[in-house]
A and B are shown apart, each in its own frame.
Chain A
Amino acid sequence: DTAVSQTPKYLVTQMGNDKSIKCEQNLGHDTMYWYKQDSKKFLKIMFSYNNKELIINETVPNRFSPKSPDKAHLNLHINSLELGDSAVYFCASSLGTSGFYNEQFFGPGTRLTVL
């Protein structure tokens, strides 16, 4: 069974479009995250969700919005896609509501290419 899954694995789209990436975890974890990995492999936190509440929001454009229908899912919606949004997006989850001390388990990533 896959612990953290993401769909789609690859996403190619035109500038200006709106797209979504889905994430599901079956680990029973309490906190979920979205990370962006740029072309230089640098990983940076975008959002974290805990009990359906947005805990943090780094300096991410408001074109990006996380949505959590339940504790096991955290989807990422992106409006008006730009070339600079091209990256690999990773979903992750961790146990506990104060997750800083728990390891995070990552999904396989979604490679987004904006043309």
Chain B
Amino acid sequence: AQKVTQAQTEISVVEKEDVTLDCVYETRDTTYYLFWYKQPPSGELVFLIRRNSFDEQNEISGRYSWNFQKSTSSFNFTITASQVVDSAVYFCALSDSSGGGADGLTFGKGTHLIIQP
């Protein structure tokens, strides 16, 4: 069965600090995809990144970076030089082929990130 664990319920940092959001996943499939979504206070869900299980290369997009490590089943997300606008709930999600390809996403419980000015 699929499972995504985001152990950090809430993180509060001061603006300009770096912050890492942890994500640990479980799946029996060898082919799977990992995602991060952002949910700002306005409530919409914004796609941030997708990573497949065969690509362990880290990715950087501006102030955002992602560290995928299959050995520890983790897909962590780091925000460098955080800004108040980064305040949101961040969800890590997993999708694998076990359900015939359309199981939908399995989400973690989310990490509420608070950036204080």
Residues of A within 8 A of B (CB): 31, 33, 35, 40-45, 48, 50, 55-56, 88, 90, 92, 97-106, 108-109
A35 surroundings in chain B (CB, below 8 A): 104-105
Interface residues on B, range: 20 to 34
Q: Is the CB of B109 within 8 A of A40?
A: yes
Q: Is the CB of A48 within 8 A of B103?
A: yes
B91 is an interface residue with CB less than 8 A from chain A = yes
Q: Is the CB of B103 within 8 A of A88?
A: no
- In the bound complex, CA of A68 to CA of B6 (Å): 34
- In the bound complex, CA of A102 to CA of B35 (Å): 10
Q: Is the CB of B107 within 8 A of A43?
A: yes
Known contacts being A40-B109, A101-B52, A103-B35, is A45 close to B47, with CB within 8 Å?
no
B50 is an interface residue with CB less than 8 A from chain A = yes
